[in-house]
Structure 1
């Protein structure tokens, strides 16, 4: 990436990360805080945790389309402002229903699709995958930081203070958006990151993609349900005060990352993706079952959390990669849009169902139900066909090319297995074997005039 692209990517990743941090910070502390709110019930605690997922799922793709019409920055700024308003509503709330309204407003600032479109506007095709990976890493770091910082901040400024802090961060993000993120020269549709209306039918008929959508739905449903129960387990069953909860999560998360890396290498480099994928789902089920049976034992809870977060980190890293590899090369943005919507709906359902289970069956109800859903996911995933490990490549083409002829010529190149030329977006999408693929040969095919001049 050149300096302008690096500035754009890191600024956008920072905005995205701060926003997700604001959503995640309350996860490890809200259930305990909510006990003091008027009108609280276990079901409403879960609903308050997960309701942001419903509004985000409903609005993220429409906001992305709106940004194609009126511009990226106005939509993103409006979304951040809505998020800030929701944070203020939640901060000032003294009833559980006002917190639910605030969290719903937070989710209504659904800027994910618009942010990815802006990122695509500001980066070249050949570096876009790296740019998106940077944003993905930032989101993962936000979740990890939130589990540690949430309880610490709660002990210093209270949960209402966390909501006020997230409102301030959202407003600062608007300043970063206009001060540090460049204005794109033009707005374009980018099939690699944006949902295209005409492609939904093709994506929703793809059984392999639907298995992954079910997976991310269940994974985020499980984790949202767990955070209805875990604060009570640590406080009431293990006698750990809320301000000490980070010292449970921190070592677990650090060790989990250490185990995650070799598993990812085994999956990606050693061709063991399906085995590692199924193992991780199995570990999720085992961890939930351990929590259901032995949540009064510190050793069992720590062991269960370690297994869970090893598996969770592996799955969070591999699921988007699998979506990218399984999706049609010219509809990856649509596939990711459906995937993200499934993820957010999973958070919503997981929070609501987790709260209901807690009210009816205490924490055991949550842990047994999450174990059951993990086993259901394992059954669904067993029939999944793993894609051949090939790399995605994009390149620039002129809008007046003969798409069919150029596609045929590209497919004749060594190492190219799929090609789709989209002249209206000035882009060619490819899947290649990097060991055989010759980028210079593709460049010669796409730029014959420059090659002739050099000759």
Structure 2
């Protein structure tokens, strides 16, 4: 490296820029994370209807199990695979996870009934690579730019959700439910190649990984706060999207095939608006304050949603506000986990973190469905706002340096 390039990298402005290796690692790992989330989201908008075409597809309990099995097995495997990534490296664990993801997708594509789709979804979920991916991002980036890198990974969740709403009706309409699973498997294969040949290698920490124990994470107050936070965040995401599509359809006259016309600009606009907040957080080292403000914003936005649910414009505005806070928190929280956790069990800490995320997805879907079935949509928003307020109270106790 030349003297001038070294000087630029060490300057205050250079420290806030992603290096070529950091940029390459962040982009490719965000793509991998997006594929994992697509495995969850692609079925959500369409499966309950498309499943009627196969034996067992009219059994609501089996359809729900097929949707939820992925999240449950993800939750079970996050911690073991996070620990394995600390011991054996990020790349081998992610390759194994993608192979399971592909195998499960193929089983679903060949399935003749819902029972075999459940089997395939269980196998897909066993490839729980979120902890290894986020640990790899942390390994590949410096602390001063890590939140920006995590923003790419975190933002992929919102983008994956938008993409799923656009693609899944198109794929099922053109190729059927089997074609949707073949597309998921093909995406997994592409990501397998990216993992093996594109993502740059990063050395693991040299600390003795054998000392890492689950109690090290479970006894760490700030890590527990962050785990509770990501559980709340994804509980709220799944719960409100049990009722939001119906509201948008009723208020705006959209059918299920055209709701993406609302979701896509909402998510992309909110992602653009959150960038200044992330940049401010990095330059001012205000991670704790940013987290508190974003959670407080969630409380307010969710509390306003029952009032906004009578106007299409108002509900769209509150959804933009929700996704601004969501994207900020999705970037900040894993970055804080990587800062708080010692290097020797970073993967284990992120394993617990992603387990809490998967449990939040599952619990939010179940709770949101029960609330919507036995009450009004406003109950979902108010319960979510109350959960966000509990999160806000715990977040104020966060003490670790950012």
| Deviation per residue, 1:411-439 (Å, 9 max, x gap) | xxxxxxxxxxxxxxxxxxxxxxxxxxxxx
How many residues align structurally? 378
Match of 2:37 in 1: 20
Cα distance in 1 for partners of 2:134, 2:308 equals: 43
Match of 1:81 in 2: 99
Contact kept, 8 Å, 1:196 with 1:331, in 2: the verdict is: no
Match of 2:312 in 1: 298
Q: Alignment partner of 1:242: what SS?
A: coil
Name whichever of 48-57 and 245-254 sits farther off: 48-57
Cα distance change, pair 304–347 in 1 and its aligned pair in 2 (3 A): same
Match of 2:271 in 1: 257
Match of 1:351 in 2: 365
CA RMSD of the aligned region, Å? 3.8
| Deviation per residue, 1:315-358 (Å, 9 max, x gap) | 11221232233334654443333222222222222222223323
Match of 1:39 in 2: 59
Whether 2:205 is the aligned partner of 1:190: answer yes
Bigger radius of gyration: 1
Quote how far apart the aligned CAs of 1:284 are.
Answer: 1.7
Q: Which runs of 5+ in 2 are unaligned?
A: 1-17
Cα distance in 2 for partners of 1:220, 1:331 equals: 24
Whether 2:118 is the aligned partner of 1:103: answer no
Match of 1:162 in 2: 180
Contact kept, 8 Å, 2:302 with 2:385, in 1: the verdict is: yes
Structure richer in strand, relative to its length = 1
Choose between structure 1 and 2 for higher RCO, CA contacts under 8 A separated by at least 6 residues: 2
Q: Alignment partner of 1:243: what SS?
A: coil
Q: Which runs of 5+ in 1 are unaligned?
A: 390-455
Whether 2:79 is the aligned partner of 1:61: answer yes
Match of 1:228 in 2: 242
Cα distance change, pair 138–19 in 1 and its aligned pair in 2 (3 A): farther
Task: State how 1:50-449 maps to structure 2 within 5 Å.
Answer: 50-66=68-84, 75-91=93-109, 99-115=117-133, 136-158=150-172, 160=177, 161-180=179-198, 190=205, 198-270=212-284, 272-328=286-342, 331-361=345-375, 363-385=377-399, 387-389=400-402
Cα distance change, pair 293–39 in 1 and its aligned pair in 2 (3 A): farther
Cα distance in 1 for partners of 2:322, 2:389 equals: 14
Cα distance in 1 for partners of 2:28, 2:153 equals: 13
| Deviation per residue, 1:11-70 (Å, 9 max, x gap) | 5554444333333334455566568731116xx766554432321121133234456777
Contact kept, 8 Å, 2:30 with 2:156, in 1: the verdict is: no
Cα distance change, pair 167–129 in 1 and its aligned pair in 2 (3 A): farther
Contact kept, 8 Å, 2:308 with 2:315, in 1: the verdict is: yes
Structure richer in helix, relative to its length = 2
Cα distance change, pair 79–285 in 1 and its aligned pair in 2 (3 A): same
Contact kept, 8 Å, 1:86 with 1:102, in 2: the verdict is: yes
Q: Alignment partner of 1:233: what SS?
A: helix
Cα distance in 1 for partners of 2:288, 2:350 equals: 20
TM-score normalised over the length of structure 2:
0.77
Cα distance in 1 for partners of 2:296, 2:92 equals: 44
Cα distance in 1 for partners of 2:345, 2:82 equals: 15
Contact kept, 8 Å, 2:138 with 2:335, in 1: the verdict is: no
Match of 2:11 in 1: none
